[in-house]
Structure 1
Amino acid sequence: MRNGLSRVWTVASKELLDFIRDWRTLVALVLIPLLIFPLFFIALPIFLQGEMSELDYYDLNLEIQIAEGDELPEQLIQPFIDNNLNYTVVNLDSELANLSVSGSDASRLREGDPHVILRLQQTETNSSESWNYAILYDATSELSSEGNSRMREVIFDWEQEIIGLTLADVNLTKEEALDPIHWDGDSSKANVATSAQSAGFALSMFIPMIVAIWTATSAIQPSIDLTAGERERGTMEALLCTPANRVELLYGKWVAVGVVAGTSVLFQLAGLLFAVAFLIPSDIFGMPTLSIWSMASLLLSVLLFAVFVVAVELALAVRAHSVKEAGTVLGPIVIAFIVPAMFAQFVNLEGIEWWWFVAPIFNVCLAMREALLNVTDLSHIALWLSSSLFYAFVAVTWAARQFQREDLVESIS
């Protein structure tokens, strides 16, 4: 037994050493997982914010079409200047069915002259001032869309001013007229959940699915390389000539792939949590507070899922006659792991049926959700633990049987 474990560890160490020697593997295993989410959640928003701020400095051409007999409200002149809107005033076409009909102005907007068109028509109501308006723009043009954004802000401020004047005529404030039933105090303090509990709930809604996706995808390449890849390179026979038997060789490869996939998942998870913590204040989104049982349950569920996934992918990869065939087979298989993990995020944990904790993939995803919510239900733990061990045993046994077949382990040549 001791010699068998020693040989398994020797095989695993040899495979891991081969991975580490390749700098590209280290980049894919460590650097990319650590940087991908900070780049998406930190660098990308900063870049987009900088690009959007550049549009603020552009002078845009605004054409104001106003109905005959109406005059441009003086309240709009200064906001146009402040927002770098160079405006010209022309008469509105009286034959338009409504102000939103673009008509012949559509082609002019597509050509960028003007960038945006504001149509105004005064109406008679009980308000102190009332207007119909429409803003015409080209959504495929960045400058035209920027002009539309600026115009909407100007119109909103103008409308708020008119509402204030109308309410003042009847001796009312905006709060009295628009918010007669209002919240007393700070509404955010009415939520009794702590920031740690809120964080656990939020993480439980996507972390299990992400872990499932990362585990399934991270194990593909090493699974192919250590099976079909060795067959193509002609190195499989050399391994078969070692003192280790085939089952020990499989276990060694399984340990190596599990370490590679698990390390990649941990680094990606660390990068994700760092990016989220950077963007969201700690008083709003803190680290979830988990009991020892919950942490053990979380780690165990991830471990058992990795055992199951790696064994399945190794068994499928060893059946392939080439690296290309293995990639073709394992690519669609990932969907079989992702789809149940995705649906598991929407399963209602309140009054959940027991069989959810027995269904493959669903069981570990729901176990991770309960662990992140700091829920310890011994009956649920017993169900997903026993079922996961069973599925892992079946997967490893199936992979071992595949590895015993001569036609699946001999080199292509």
Structure 2
Amino acid sequence: MLQVYIKEMLELTRDKKTLIFTILLPTLIMPVILGGFFTLSLKIAKKANEEVLDFAIIGSQNYAQVESELLREPEGDEDPLNFNLITLEPGADVDELINTNKIRFALVIPDGASQAMENGETLEIDFKYNDSATTSGLMFKRVNDALEDLKTIELVKRYAKLGLTEEQGEALGKPLKLVQKSTANERESFGEKFGAFLPYILILVGLSGAMYPAIDLGVGEKDRGTLETLLLTPVSRFSLVLAKFLVIFTTSFLAIFLSLLSFAIMTLMFGPYFSSMMGPESSANATSVLQALTNISVVDILLMFSMLVPIAAIFASLLLSVSIYARTFKEAQNYMSPIMFLVFLPLILALLPGVKLDWVWASVPITNVALAIKEIFKGTIDMGMLAVIFLSTTIIAGVLLALCNWWFQREQVLFRN
């Protein structure tokens, strides 16, 4: 059996497709793609924040403070607002100018705006823009944030008229304020928000790492005409199945290990770089995330791997069974789509809000492992439940391996063509 295992592993190392999907994809390509996507997103957001926005004001004379506030010079280390006022010609079609990108937005200040502010009324200023633009939401936020100081000034004036200090005025508008005080630490908070995505990625990587070797070791033997020769060797069929199973299990688990290792390295090496590219608030959040990740111990990582061992075994047994049953390489590939759907569904369940690890969800295959890894990531795993999940998943993998062995014993399955 060992010789068959070594032979199959050597053949796989000569297959470029297998090397790409089991080593290159999880180790380099996926982290590079995700890192590049994250970097590009940050650059696009930064460019949108620094873009000079051409705008127009209709009825500026009704409340000139708005124009003054948007065009004011930055003070100290304050970033420039980057607004450029465009003077409109009489009778200009504002909607057409916005839709043709001649101006990015327009503010319409109604008549009597100054009087309304003096009377303590709410002044409604129309913000006209094209919401089909990709950065339209960010553009509104930039304008709204730029007018925050003006809002504060007007509020202080109103408080003074009532004989109130700024603090008393704020208390007048907010007689009751609910303050959030979470008892969760940074690791638990981060794990609850993003911990479900880690098993989602790792399990799918394990599936892709097992898929192509399984096709090659099953139906690939039929296509190459080497299955008959292999069956004539003085090796029991169970040993042949076990050797092929171990090869697929190795490639699946290797893909998971390399993927997790590469993500860890990228996080440690490039995490501070991504943090420096963000704004002050986002950078602080990114720093807290990095600190939360440093609290994950070696034991936690080993527990995550222990959960993924039976998952890799399930994939190896199931995919090898399908590959043995298929007549041709193309037929085996057709069977992979429903299998991927069956894996996607429980993973999506683990991502749904309100789905937490309990004894009900612990009985759902794949979902239970995804939820368990999330709890390990948070540092709140119940070791008793973890042992039950590991045992139940291992039993499922053993049953599927027995089914694969029974499948391989039947001549009508091996030689369906």
The two structures share one fold, judged by TM-score above 0.5:
yes
Q: Which amino acid aligns with 1:342?
A: I
Partner of 2:323: 317
RMSD: 3.7
Q: More deviation in 388-397 or 33-42?
A: 33-42
Q: More deviation in 255-264 or 358-367?
A: 358-367
d(CA) in 2 for partners of 1:252 and 1:107? 70
3-state SS of the aligned residue for 2:109?
A: strand
d(CA) in 2 for partners of 1:117 and 1:359? 54
3-state SS of the aligned residue for 1:271?
A: helix
Q: Which amino acid aligns with 1:348?
A: K
d(CA) in 2 for partners of 1:330 and 1:205? 24
Q: More deviation in 173-182 or 403-412?
A: 173-182
The 8 Å contact of residues 69 and 147 in structure 2, kept in 1 or not, is answered as: no
Partner of 1:158: 150
Q: Which amino acid aligns with 2:158?
A: T
Map residues 84-233 of structure 1 onto 2, 5 A cutoff: 84-88=83-87, 105-121=94-110, 122-123=112-113, 124=116, 127=119, 131-141=123-133, 148=140, 150-178=142-170, 191=182, 193-198=184-189, 201=192, 204-233=195-224
d(CA) in 2 for partners of 1:370 and 1:51? 34
Are 1:65 and 2:58 an aligned pair?
Answer: yes
d(CA) in 1 for partners of 2:39 and 2:190? 24
TM-score by length of 2: 0.77
Map residues 12-411 of structure 1 onto 2, 5 A cutoff: 12-36=5-29, 38-39=31-32, 42-55=35-48, 59-66=52-59, 70-74=61-65, 76-77=67-68, 79-80=70-71, 83-88=82-87, 105-121=94-110, 122-123=112-113, 124=116, 127=119, 131-141=123-133, 148=140, 150-178=142-170, 191=182, 193-198=184-189, 201=192, 204-276=195-267, 278=271, 280-281=286-287, 284-289=291-296, 297-344=303-350, 346-349=354-357, 352-353=358-359, 356-372=361-377, 373-378=379-384, 380-381=385-386, 383-410=388-415
3-state SS of the aligned residue for 2:309?
A: helix
The 8 Å contact of residues 224 and 323 in structure 1, kept in 2 or not, is answered as: yes
Identical residues among aligned pairs (%):
21
3-state SS of the aligned residue for 1:85?
A: strand
Which protein is richer in helix relative to its size? Answer: 2
Offset, 1:259 = 0.9
Structure 2 residue runs without a partner (length 5+): 73-80, 276-285
Q: More deviation in 400-409 or 29-38?
A: 29-38
Q: What are the Cα deviations for residues 189-240 of structure 1, in whole angstroms up to 9, with x where unaligned?
A: x655444555555565333333333323332221112111221222222322
Change (3 A) 1:60 1:300: closer
Partner of 2:281: none
Offset, 1:287 = 3.5
d(CA) in 2 for partners of 1:205 and 1:284? 19
Structure 1 residue runs without a partner (length 5+): 1-6, 94-103
Offset, 1:397 = 0.9
Change (3 A) 1:174 1:225: farther
The 8 Å contact of residues 23 and 258 in structure 2, kept in 1 or not, is answered as: yes
d(CA) in 2 for partners of 1:329 and 1:142? 39
Q: More deviation in 307-316 or 278-287?
A: 278-287
d(CA) in 2 for partners of 1:78 and 1:249? 78
Partner of 1:96: none
